Amino acid sequence: MKVTRALFDDVMAPNYNPAAMIPVRGEGSRVWDQEGVEYVDFAGGIAVNSLGHCHPAMVTALKEQGEKLWHLSNVFTNEPALRLAKKLTDVTFAERVYFANSGAEANEAALKLARRWALEHHGEDKTQIIAFKQGFHGRTFFTVTVGGQPAYSDGFGPKPAAVDHATYNDLDSLKALMSDKTCAVMIEPLQGEGGIISPTPEFIQGVRELCNQHNALLIFDEVQSGVGRTGELYAYMGLGVTPDILTTAKALGGGFPIGAMLTTKDIAASLKVGTHGSTYGGNPLACAVAEAVLDIVNTPEVLDGVKRKEQLFRDGLNAINAKYDVFSEIRGKGLLLGAALNEKYQGRSRDFLVAAVAEHLMCLVAGANVVRFAPSLIIPDADIQEGLARFERAVAKVVQG
């Protein structure tokens, strides 16, 4: 069968609009399409491919586990899941882990746990969940409602109730919504889809203090910011604020689907037997791969490398901007960066993405006004320089019309 982009329109639901080229092979931070054309990957599968494509340690883990045990369900436990959970609790604030298959499922579990915890400890009136405008927490109906982008949640009927949205980096906005009926505040410690927005130290500390004041749980959605993306294993570690619940996915499996919710022993106690579950959660294949990823990422070499590579990106993007004057600022932390378009180029982030693909560079957008970069955490410096050269050619084409 000849597989073409046209086949997508014939057989797939129309909720995506993928590029014309079809990648067929990847190695490190390079990808090749059906025609053998090579691309530099600054997209990383939307902050997923933490070790690039086909990293030998991941391939080995998958092959070895694939010859032992694929699936059991949670009627039984398995060794890779327990090893991974132990490693996650050893290196974070958490004492208990729940495994899922995606960030949305991890967030769904976090929200359900918060509601159940509040019911058990404070009564049935404590149901309010507060999140932030322009936030993103997944595409299940609960998580997309908690996410602060109505365009993603409108049009599907009545939404889950008792969900409110404050303004990110505006503590007064949150304070006005909070009360003793608030059961949880869910926040990205670095907004991703909403434009790569970092929290101010005063804001994120104030969110923690308000949660303490109102006996509300603080949920950090680290689906995109976690597993080394910011140069810390998890972003909370660089903010001086510890959440009550943390969700992680994307980079955790380095490309193999897995998600996890991390929390304390006391809070996890509300997830009694039968209250929540997942057929595939804790799958041996996924956990074996994620263990290999975690072992590599959680090293000084990789985490310090992320911070150094961030500066290479910033220097390169600032040099491009000095020539073409298209960005108002470079946002983000580590290797989750956003080039925010200035007033002359508002609404045109996709134009830059399309031009980049034409120059054989894969990148992302974060809304209509931000070009996003989320490459492998171990992308070689030479690939950064080559990718930025291609991006500069793309910028020049957009500017020249």
Statement to judge: residues 47 and 64 lie in one domain: no
Ligand-binding site membership of 249 (annotated):
no
Q: What's the pLDDT at 392?
A: 98
Q: Give the CATH number for residue 257.
A: 3.40.640.10
Statement to judge: residues 247 and 383 lie in one domain: no
CA triplet 131, 137, 142: central angle to 5 degrees? 80
Statement to judge: residues 129 and 93 lie in one domain: yes
Statement to judge: residues 198 and 316 lie in one domain: no
Per-residue pLDDT of 187-214, as tens digits, reads: 999 998 888 999 999 999 999 999 999 9
List Cα–Cα distances, 216 to 179, 186, 245, in angstroms.
Answer: 9, 10, 11
Q: Give the CATH number for residue 379.
A: 3.90.1150.10
* DSSP, res 198: P
- Band of residue 46 on the pLDDT scale cut at 50, 70, 90: very high
State how far the Cα of 310 lies from the Cα of 228, in Å rounded to an integer.
12
Average pLDDT of every residue of the chain:
96
Q: What's the pLDDT at 193?
A: 84
Last residue of a domain, one of 274, 297, 320: 297
Last residue of a domain, one of 235, 263, 297: 297
Q: Based on the structure, what is the number of domains in the chain?
A: 2
List Cα–Cα distances, 322 to 82, 131, 355, in angstroms.
Answer: 51, 37, 19
Ligand-binding site membership of 103 (annotated):
yes
Q: What is the average pLDDT across 18-42? A: 97
Ligand-binding site membership of 223 (annotated):
yes
| The model's pTM | 0.95
The beta strand positions in 22-145, using DSSP E, are: 23-27, 30-33, 38-41, 96-100, 128-132
Statement to judge: residues 217 and 357 lie in one domain: no
Residue 383, classed as helix, strand or coil, is helix
- Say how many C-beta atoms besides its own lie within 10 A of residue 166's C-beta: 23
Is residue 90 pLDDT above 90, yes or no?
yes
Q: For a pLDDT cut of 90, what percent of the chain falls above it?
A: 95
Is residue 148 pLDDT above 90, yes or no?
no
Residues forming beta bridges with residue 132, ordered by sequence position: 166
User: Which amino acids are annotated catalytic?
Assistant: 136, 221, 250
Statement to judge: residues 380 and 362 lie in one domain: yes
Last residue of a domain, one of 297, 313, 338: 297
Statement to judge: residues 321 and 359 lie in one domain: yes
Ligand-binding site membership of 139 (annotated):
yes
Statement to judge: residues 162 and 283 lie in one domain: yes
Q: What is the average pLDDT across 295-302? A: 98
- Band of residue 401 on the pLDDT scale cut at 50, 70, 90: confident
Q: Domain span at residue 152? A: 57-297
Statement to judge: residues 354 and 258 lie in one domain: no
Q: What is the average pLDDT across 254-279? A: 96
Statement to judge: residues 266 and 353 lie in one domain: no
Statement to judge: residues 195 and 284 lie in one domain: yes
Statement to judge: residues 113 and 253 lie in one domain: yes
Per-residue pLDDT of 307-333, as tens digits, reads: 999 999 999 999 999 999 999 999 999
